[in-house]
Amino acid sequence: MYPNDGYRELGRQECLRLLATAPIGRIVHTRQALPAVLPVNFGLDDDGAVLLRTSAASELARAVDGAVVAFEVDAVDADTYAGWSVVVTGRAEIVTDPAEAARLERTGPRSWAPSPEEVFVRIEPELVTGRELVGGRTMYGLHRSG
């Protein structure tokens, strides 16, 4: 069941289901030719796209519009050495269609740091991967449980 030394690969639908359970993720993008990682709250659209809401004037909005980005979410139980991680890779676009923006205004994520002018960023899930780590560890003399 766990052929890869304590973890198993997750399928796309299971990854999307797990994404929907987490309130915070990390967007990975390029800033001045270097990787940058920012924690953000997010939502999922009906088609599995990751939705962010941010200030229209933010560095994030400028940096990711039209760029390929990665978005990562995880959950870890340090006591049992168990958890999961999901990564969505795809093109990020600022939503410019007025009807779509109005729909997301009603159904999309709420900003935890509201600003006067906000935009929605949609990340199309071109590649969705995930892993689940089972409880227990075999390293450093710790035994594997369950």
Is residue 77 within 8 A of residue 10, CB to CB? The reply is no
Q: Is residue 1 part of a domain?
A: no
Signed CA dihedral, 91, 95, 96, 98: sign only: positive
Q: Is residue 105 part of a domain?
A: yes
Q: Is residue 75 part of a domain?
A: yes
Dump pLDDT digits (tens) for 37-62.
999 999 999 889 999 999 999 999 99
Question: What's CA 90's distance to the chain center, in Å?
Answer: 11
Is residue 39 within 8 A of residue 26, CB to CB? The reply is yes
Q: Is residue 146 part of a domain?
A: no
109: left (phi over 0), alpha (psi -120 to 50) or beta: beta
Quote the pLDDT of residue 110.
87
Give this prediction's pTM. 0.85
Q: Is residue 2 part of a domain?
A: no
Taking alpha carbons only, the member of 69, 100, 104 closest to residue 87 is 69
Burial call 71-89: b when 16+ CB within 10 Å, e when fewer: bbbbeeeeeebbbbbbbbb
Number of domains in the chain: 1
Q: Is residue 63 part of a domain?
A: yes
Dump pLDDT digits (tens) for 57-74.
999 999 999 999 999 999
Cα(119)–Cα(56) distance, integer angstroms: 5
CATH of the domain at 58: 2.30.110.10
Residue numbers of the domain that contains 33: 7-141
Quote the pLDDT of residue 124.
96
Q: Is residue 111 part of a domain?
A: yes
Q: Is residue 81 part of a domain?
A: yes
